[in-house]
Amino acid sequence: MRSRLGSAVGAVVATAAVLAGCGGGDDGGRVTLNFWAYNEPSGSFRAAADRCTEQSDGRYRIAFNPLGNDPDTQRQSLVRRLAAKDSSIDIMSMDVIWTAEFAEAEWIKPWPEQFASKVREGTLEGPLQTATYEDELYAAPANSNTQLLWYRKDLVDGEPPRTWDKLIDTASEMEEGGQIEIQGAQYEGTTVLFNSLIQSAGGEILDGPDKVGLEQEPTQKAVDVMAKFGRSPAANPSLENQKEDQGRLAFEQGQAAFQVNYPFIYPSAKDGAPEIFKNLGWAEYPSVEEGGPSKAPIGGFNWGVGNYTEHPELAFEAATCLRSDENQRSFALDGGLPPTLEAIYDDPKFEEQYPFGDLIRRQLDDPGVRPASPLYADVSLAIYKTLSPFSDIDTDTVVDALRERVSNALKSQGLL
């Protein structure tokens, strides 16, 4: 696969060559390592950089370089520099879906065994899978993420339904709060949902990095759920514009009894919607079939080491520090981002502080991992363009349309 870098890379190189050669320097005898990362709102990533700098005994300083809040903006900022062989990218935060693309393009270094063995030890299987490409470790899982089914205990009698069909039916029949807030906009969140649904039904989007999967029966079951929801009273009228934050706000404003979203909504409701928070419950991500696996989405950030860094040994050492037990606790408790280390979940104190942690750990042991393909971005684009808005899905023809468009995406053809 090394020869297939995609036509977009050439264009990026042409526009970004001026960025090359901006390497990190020395600071009073210690090396400056540039850490390019999502500007996590609580400041926990920046605090981790300061903490590891202090713990380095003067050998290096980690300079925090904030990336934008939107994943597409983060990726674009990194790709421009990496394609121009910019040596200033020593360490970077990578969305879990970028591993294959960045490894294939040789923008990140594989982790040497002396550091890789430390990363593997005690790390949950799901996050570790997102950091691996062609059986080699290319990143270090720093934090993870998964969606839970959040619900209002004052509106829902007992435990919420376990399957999507029953959940949609239950919400549709409610007199108050009969909405389920989920992500339905034309963006990555729609692909995340579809991937979890098709895997829960026993299928896959891709069969390997460059071959279409989309088997008929599981694909049909997945799109049937999306179409049913999009046409039901349980859907927010603004579903086709709903992303994670819009769902959070609608739930906090009392519009819905249910919400499928990431754990950041817990501290948000605690601070901003105390009346909702006091009745906030959580349950396992819904499955497609009764008794079947839920295959909850997996997200989060992995730390990668730039292929053009002038200080690879120190960069791997610093990246290992940045995902330490202490820092992962901070990511979870300050920023709401679930840890990737098993030992943290075993700590009774952490369980008290993060009461849904055990459920998150179970989901991260068998999550809905998105396809590991260098062309994932094109594949995702084909999927969410085809399936959004949910209410317009033609369940009789959409499976064939998906196969055709994903096939074209794998050939870099016909992209919108």
Are residues 334 and 270 part of one domain? no
> Which pLDDT does position 413 carry in this prediction?
72
Are residues 323 and 404 part of one domain? no
Are residues 360 and 381 part of one domain? no
Binned at pLDDT 50, 70 and 90, residue 13 comes out as very low
Within a domain: 392: yes
Within a domain: 415: no
Q: Where are the alpha helices (DSSP H) in 84-121?
A: 99-104, 113-120
Q: Where are the alpha helices (DSSP H) in 25-160?
A: 44-55, 71-83, 99-104, 113-120, 125-130
Q: CB–CB of 13/5 below 8 Å? A: no
pTM of the entire predicted model: 0.87
How do beta strands 30-38 and 60-67 pair?
Answer: parallel
> Which pLDDT does position 143 carry in this prediction?
96
**Coil, strand, or helix at residue 316?**
helix
Are residues 361 and 265 part of one domain? no
Q: What's the pLDDT tens digit per position in 311-366?
A: 999 999 999 999 999 999 999 998 889 999 999 999 999 999 999 999 999 999 89
How do beta strands 140-146 and 258-261 pair?
Answer: unpaired
Are residues 180 and 134 part of one domain? no
The amino acid occupying position 272 is G
Within a domain: 23: yes
How many domains is the chain built from? 2
Are residues 290 and 227 part of one domain? yes
Residue 331: give the domain boundaries: 7-144+299-365
> Which pLDDT does position 27 carry in this prediction?
62
Within a domain: 1: no
Q: How far is CA 363 from CA 15, 159, 216, 293, in A?
A: 41, 18, 26, 10
Within a domain: 370: no
Q: What's the pLDDT tens digit per position in 63-113?
A: 999 998 888 889 999 999 999 999 999 999 999 999 999 999 999 999 999
Are residues 306 and 247 part of one domain? no
Q: Closest Cα partner for 333 from 48, 37, 96?
A: 48
Question: CA neighbours within 13 Å on the CB side: how many for 196?
Answer: 29
Alpha-carbon span 194 to 254, nearest angstrom? 27
Are residues 379 and 391 part of one domain? yes
Are residues 335 and 405 part of one domain? no
Are residues 108 and 86 part of one domain? yes
Are residues 164 and 123 part of one domain? no
Are residues 305 and 253 part of one domain? no
Partner residues linked to 260 by β-bridges:
149
Question: Domain of 225: which CATH number?
Answer: 3.40.190.10
Based on the number of CB atoms within 10 Å of its own CB, is 404 exposed (0-12), middle (13-18) or buried (19 or more)? middle
Within a domain: 416: no
Q: Closest Cα partner for 141 from 338, 383, 415?
A: 338
Q: Closest Cα partner for 402 from 390, 381, 386?
A: 386
Within a domain: 361: yes
